[in-house]
Amino acid sequence: MSNKRRRCFTIAEKVKIIERLENGVSNKDLCQELGISQSTLSTIWKSKDQIKSGKHAVVVNSTTTIRNCFHHAGFKASVNDETEIVNENNLDTECFSEENIQSFVEVDDALLTNEEPNEEEIVKSILNEKNNDESEQGDEESEEIVFKVPSISEMYLY
């Protein structure tokens, strides 16, 4: 196999090659002169009608040619687009089990949500607790409000 690169001809060059072939220049002489193979010359000769009429440019840029280029590059169109959309909309019921929801809810429980207090803040909080305990003893009528956190099964009811 040769390492020779193929030569790319313009439409005008192809028209000149066709005219020379029609005027009687031999294939062998033309191939040697241009430095091309017999198959290249044969391909130009086979598409001479399209080249001369200007349709060659349209054929080269047709949608089929462009589609084939994308296909060759690895971009493949899917015929079953609707099927894929339907399959994407199917929800995996295993993802919504009660255990998975509970583990999702508790995933951040061990994380710190605030900074640790320093010594001064600890002392202040202890003194405030003592002061609050003394004031609460005098005011025992105050009620504590308790909020109940719903369980996962109770959340499903809503």
pLDDT at 114: 73
- Long-range interactions of 43-50: CB distance < 8 A, separation 24+: 44/9, 44/14, 44/17, 44/18, 45/18, 45/21, 48/18
The domain locations on the chain are 11-73
What percent of the chain has pLDDT above 90?
5
Q: Rounded mean pLDDT of the chain?
A: 76
Q: Which amino acid is at 40?
A: T
The model's pLDDT over 24-44, given as tens digits with 9 standing for 90+, comes to 999 899 888 888 889 888 998
Q: Answer whether residue 58 shows pLDDT above 80.
A: no
11-73: CATH architecture: Orthogonal Bundle (1.10)
Q: Is pLDDT of 6 > 60?
A: yes
**Residue 80 pLDDT level (bands cut at 50, 70, 90):** low
User: How many CB atoms lie under 10 A from the CB of residue 17?
Assistant: 21
CB–CB of 44/51 below 8 Å? yes
Return the pLDDT at 133. Answer: 74
